[in-house]
Structure 1
């Protein structure tokens, strides 16, 4: 299982695309991720593989699995790179339905939940409750991650 251990570390997908259409902007963003998270071996290995083996389709983009604080840190870094002209145009950052803990699906990403009792299975509910307690103005509760 690759994805579930990342969930257990509090990591989720962080997607972004270069609106310039220039792959150099993604290369610069990758370079920044390497500087910000040099201890994240999985991320560094992913960036190496992505740069070597994955071709861009449409706008150049990247996905990386980052922790909650890491996503905020990378988002601020991307804003700074655009502001300072190190990236030639705005970067769009996308959220994912996985961010809401919505794939607590015992037969997929959370496949190690033999009896459904693993705490990961409660993430969708816990996330909604935490966001409500924090004063969120729009809280979504969903599950399944598109599994039907």
Structure 2
């Protein structure tokens, strides 16, 4: 088949230059990942709560477990040093008090070389004690005074 052609030389290639690689997609992926990581670090305290909030919560659960006689739960909330100091039932007897305990305040403290929270507890009869809460694979009760 021969006939009149629109172009004498034939069609030209559409893309005549050397191809360029665009790195925009890769940059967007890495930038988005970095932004997500920063957002997660910022949001973590909002989800888990601050140190004072965690100390209040663990002290409240510990007191409720003691009051209910649940030695398994209250024993699991003790720090490693307290659990290793002897029989869990004997250790828990130092924390027991008749009546219902209520958390009334939290302050920063130190236990040896470790940061801690000092949680003030008031019982029905007006007596007060302080529970020391340390961060050890989650907040844990690690001593009492009062």
Give TM-score, length-normalised by structure 2: 0.24
Q: As a proportion of its length, which structure holds more strand?
A: 2
**With CA pairs under 8 Å and 6+ residues apart, which has the higher RCO, 1 or 2?**
1
